[in-house]
Amino acid sequence: MTALEHCDVLIVGAGPAGMAAAVAAASGGASIVVIDDNPAPGGQIWRDGPGASLPAAARKWRDALARHANIRVCSGTRVIATPACNELLLEDERGWRMRWKKLILCTGARELLLPFPGWTLPGVTGAGGLQALIKAGLPVEGERIVIAGSGPLLLAAASTARAAGAKVVRIAEQATLTAVAGFAANLWRWPGKAAQSVTLADPQYRTASRIVSAQGGTQVESVRLLQGGREVEIACDRVACGFGLTPNTQLGRLLGCALAAEGAHALAVDARQLTSLPDVYAAGECTGFGGSERALAEGTIAGHAAVGNERAAKQHEGERARWHAFAAQLHRSFALAPAIRQMPQPDTLVCRCEDVPFSALADCTGWTDAKLHRRCGMGACQGRVCGDAAQFLFGWTPPAPRPPLSPVRISTLAGLAGQADEGDARQ
């Protein structure tokens, strides 16, 4: 039978938002549990691994977690399902249930990967994906890398690749020079970001540039880019391509949390970071992407609010507003151009798990039609990649999440079934 544990505050996600929420909530003495599917706390930005060097801020937050005896961090733990009210089914080396009084969702965001000819070739990854691989120990020394897509993450990925000895031969940003220059001109409002942008400046950076295709046999060998209206071909060993971030809302939606305004694709929260459900808060990039500082401010407010410390929560509202303004600037400046929708050709795979080309989806009426009649989203990733792409390309509503949220061992499910049987027998 599955073990049942209890806590006052359960936090899902140990990125900046989750760590800040835990530290804020812990000050009142409540029992806090933080679960995360990564091997160590830090989330996407402070991802650990043999090729990672953790910045001081990451170490500071990790130390703060460790200093509180009432915070328990469960790394390498996945959320599987929501078996009962105020309860999650979790899995690490065992399956177990955790019952909570307050829940804080800090599930972050994932990269938006969009299809273009050649995007399934070995050597083509997301921009953040490449960063994660390098931090996990992927050797890239001496490799020629092209980074393409949109947003500051391209520069962060380039910096990680270069530090690992790679040669970044081009960074192709789809936003125009005017948009990027406007973004840079406004950075004085966030001096830390202005300073960071100077360290990330790169001679290979080109605006109004987008990927047309990647070529190669068993591995990518070159990319074609449309640069200021002119097509160029660049020889390379790797391509890293990301078009911004998509909030991870699956768990929130499975619980029944409302989404923000139509088209925002993020969890809706009020001034205290409370979702549409009582006792369920959300913070960080699952409420919209905007960087680690925004995530830290939201996490701090959610943590204080969850333990009833409204006064402390209020004190961080100004800081949150400052970073919300930064996020709004980011969204405006790096909005995807309509031409990005034209990247896939008729034979370009949109669902790479089930080999579904763009042409097979063009006449579908929506996600359910595409799933039922073309098998789009029916493969291993369960629509996590092609669902976001289809939403961007066709405007389809994303697939509704269903349990299990992650691949699960049969013994975990069997333990839960035993629980249900026992409950039935008692009735």
Ligand X SMILES: Cc1cc2nc3c(=O)[nH]c(=O)nc-3n(C[C@H](O)[C@H](O)[C@H](O)COP(=O)(O)OP(=O)(O)OC[C@H]3O[C@@H](n4cnc5c(N)ncnc54)[C@H](O)[C@@H]3O)c2cc1C
User: Which span sits near ligand X by CB under 6 A: 65-73, 139-147, 289-297, 387-395?
Assistant: 289-297
Which residues inside 314-353 make contact with ligand X, applying CB under 6 A?
A: none
Given 24, 30, 65, 79, the residue binding ligand X (CB under 6 A)? 79
Indicate whether 251 belongs to the interface with ligand X (CB under 6 A).
yes
H/E stretch holding 374 reads helix 367-374
User: Which span sits near ligand X by CB under 6 A: 33-41, 200-208, 263-271, 367-375?
Assistant: 33-41
Q: Give me the half-sphere count of Cα atoms (radius 13 Å) on the Cβ side of residue 38.
A: 20
Q: Which of 376, 425, 422, 328 is nearest to 4 (CA)?
A: 422
Residue 128 CB, nearest approach to ligand X (Å):
2
Residue 163 or 235 with smaller CB distance to ligand X: 163
Instruction: For residues 166 and 143, give the distance between their C-alpha atoms in angstroms, rounded to a whole number.
Output: 5
Which residue's entry shows tokens 């125009």? 176
H/E stretch holding 179 reads helix 177-185
Which residues inside 124-153 make contact with ligand X, applying CB under 6 A?
A: 128, 131-132, 153
Indicate whether 280 belongs to the interface with ligand X (CB under 6 A).
no
Residue 200 or 378 with smaller CB distance to ligand X: 200
Indicate whether 245 belongs to the interface with ligand X (CB under 6 A).
yes
Site mask for ligand X (CB under 6 A), range 156-195, x = bound: x---------------------------------------
Residue 57 CB, nearest approach to ligand X (Å):
11
Given 213, 248, 273, 382, the residue binding ligand X (CB under 6 A)? 248
Is the distance from CB of 224 to CB of 235 less than 8 angstroms? no
Beta bridge partners of 172: 148, 206
Instruction: For residues 408 and 353, give the distance between their C-alpha atoms in angstroms, rounded to a whole number.
Output: 19
Given 106, 147, 351, 361, the residue binding ligand X (CB under 6 A)? 106
Given 48, 91, 285, 388, the residue binding ligand X (CB under 6 A)? 285
244: CB partners within 8 A, 6+ apart: 111, 112, 149, 150, 151, 153, 289, 334, 336
**Quick count: other Cβ atoms within 10 Å of Cβ 251?**
23
Indicate whether 284 belongs to the interface with ligand X (CB under 6 A).
yes
Provide long-range contacts, Cβ within 8 A and 24+ apart, for 191-194.
192/293, 193/291, 193/326
Which residues bind to ligand X, rule: CB under 6 A?
Answer: 12-18, 35-38, 43-45, 78-79, 106-111, 128, 131-132, 153, 156, 245, 248, 251, 284-285, 291-292, 295, 405
